[in-house]
Amino acid sequence: MNRPRTQKPKRTMGVRAHAALALAPVLNQRGALTSDVPEGVAPRDQGLYRALCFGVCRALPQLEAIAEKLLKSAFKQRDQDVHALLLIGLYQLYHMRIPTHAAVGETAGGARELNKEWATRVINGCLRRADRERDTLLATVDQSPEAAHWHPQWLLNRLEKAWPDQWQDITAANNVPGPMTLRVNRRHQSREAWLERLEDAGLAARTCAFSDDALTMETPCDVEQLPGFQDGDVSVQDEAAQLAAGLLLEGVESRSAPLRLLDACSAPGGKSAHLLECAPESALTALDSDATRLERVRETLARLKLSATLVATDATEGAWWDGVPFDGILLDAPCSGTGVIRRHPDIKALRREEDIFELTALQARLLDAQWQRLAPGGRLLYATCSVLPEENAEQITAFLARTPDAHAQPITADWGQIAGEGRQLMPTPDGHDGFFYALLEKAAG
* pLDDT at 1 (0 to 100): 40
Which of 122, 150, 178 marks a domain boundary? 150
Q: pTM value?
A: 0.93
Within-domain flag for 216: no
Whether residue 385 lies in the annotated active site: yes
Which of 98, 126, 150 marks a domain boundary? 150
Within-domain flag for 2: no
Within-domain flag for 425: yes
**Do both 356 and 244 map to the same domain?**
yes
Residues belonging to the binding site for S-adenosyl-L-methionine are 265-271, 288, 314, 332
Active-site position among 57, 278, 335, 385? 385
Q: Find all residues with CB under 8 Å of 269, minimum gap 6, and list them.
A: 286, 296, 297, 298, 299, 300, 301
Whether residue 277 contacts residue 187, with contact meaning beta carbons closer than 8 Å, is answered with yes
Nearest to 56, CA basis, from 5, 30, 25, 19 = 19
User: Considering just the CA atoms, what is the radius of gyration of the chain in Å?
Assistant: 23
Within-domain flag for 200: no
**Do both 264 and 140 map to the same domain?**
no
Which helix (H) or strand (E) segment is 181 a member of? strand 181-184
**Do both 403 and 277 map to the same domain?**
yes
Within-domain flag for 166: no
Q: Residues 306, 309, 312, 317: is their CA dihedral positive or negative?
A: negative
For 384, the 3-state DSSP assignment is: strand
396 DSSP assignment: H
Q: Residues 273, 285, 363, 356: is their CA dihedral positive or negative?
A: positive
**To 5 degrees, how large is the angle CA 13–CA 19–CA 20?**
90
User: How far lies 178's CA from each of 181, 210, 216, 341, 440, in Å?
Assistant: 9, 17, 10, 9, 30
Confidence of residue 229 (pLDDT cuts 50, 70, 90): very high
**Alpha-carbon span 250 to 327, nearest angstrom:** 12
Within-domain flag for 169: no
Classify the phi-psi angles of 267: left when phi > 0, otherwise alpha if psi is within -120 to 50, otherwise beta.
beta
| pLDDT tens column, 127-141 | 999 999 999 999 999
User: How far lies 369's CA from each of 45, 315, 333, 379, 399, in Å?
Assistant: 47, 7, 12, 14, 12
Query: What's the structural domain count of the chain?
Result: 2
Which helix (H) or strand (E) segment is 419 a member of? strand 417-419
CA 95 to chain centroid, in Å, comes to 22
Please give the backbone phi and psi of residue 357, each rounded to the nearest 5 degrees, phi first: -65, -40
Total residue count of the chain as it appears in this document: 445
> Residue 6 pLDDT more than 80?
no
Which helix (H) or strand (E) segment is 44 a member of? none
Q: What mean pLDDT do residues 202-208 have?
A: 96
Q: In terms of residue numbers, what domain contains 397?
A: 239-442
* pLDDT at 14 (0 to 100): 95
Q: What mean pLDDT do residues 265-275 have?
A: 96
Q: What mean pLDDT do residues 275-282 have?
A: 95
**Do both 145 and 244 map to the same domain?**
no
Which of 150, 185, 204 marks a domain boundary? 150
Mind giving me the DSSP string for 77-139?
A: GGGHHHHHHHHHHHHHHHHS---HHHHHHHHHHHHHHTT-THHHHHHHHHHHHHHHTHHHHHH
User: How far lies 315's CA from each of 234, 321, 398, in Å?
Assistant: 29, 10, 20
Within-domain flag for 431: yes
**Do both 262 and 407 map to the same domain?**
yes
**Alpha-carbon span 34 to 28, nearest angstrom:** 15
Which of 202-211, 245-254, 361-370 bottoms out in mean pLDDT, i.e. has the lowest? 245-254
Within-domain flag for 268: yes
**To 5 degrees, how large is the angle CA 220–CA 222–CA 223?**
105
Q: What mean pLDDT do residues 173-199 have?
A: 96
**Do both 143 and 268 map to the same domain?**
no
Q: Find all residues with CB under 8 Å of 372, minimum gap 6, and list them.
A: 318
**Do both 19 and 127 map to the same domain?**
yes
Whether residue 59 contacts residue 95, with contact meaning beta carbons closer than 8 Å, is answered with yes
| pLDDT tens column, 414-436 | 999 999 999 999 999 999 999 99
CATH number at residue 369: 3.40.50.150
Residues belonging to the binding site are 265-271, 288, 314, 332
